[in-house]
Amino acid sequence: MKLGNAWTNLNLVFCSEVGKPHSVRNLQRRHFKPALVKAGLPDIRLYDLRHTCATLLLLAGENPKIVSERLGHASIVLTLDTYSAVLPSMQQSATDKLEKILNRKGSR
């Protein structure tokens, strides 16, 4: 309100002092890297958090379409290609589920 017309309202959760998006470089240098150091965490890229989120969601069994939408991918194909290394570990889970279904049906 103090800035009046100088304020840019983009409805951002985190923004600069004038309402605009943070510069990624400044965000990393001023906030992200110091937070890593203070927390005693390894030096990672901010972008690595995006990959970690997607990987954890897929490993937790989240629908790949939902993960794709969260990442803003234009197509689920990009998500599946990018995170295909996670999918083989999910194959055993799918096999186990199918086996349970078939065994249940066969025991009747």
**How does pLDDT run along the chain (108 residues), one tens digit per residue?**
788 888 889 988 888 888 899 888 988 998 899 999 999 999 999 889 999 999 999 988 899 999 999 999 999 999 999 888 877 777 787 888 899 999 986 665
Give the pLDDT score at 106.
Answer: 60
Q: Where are the domains of the chain?
A: 1-44, 45-108
**CA neighbor of 14 nearest in space, from 43, 38, 51, 46:** 46
CA–CA distance, 23 with 63 (Å, rounded to integer): 32
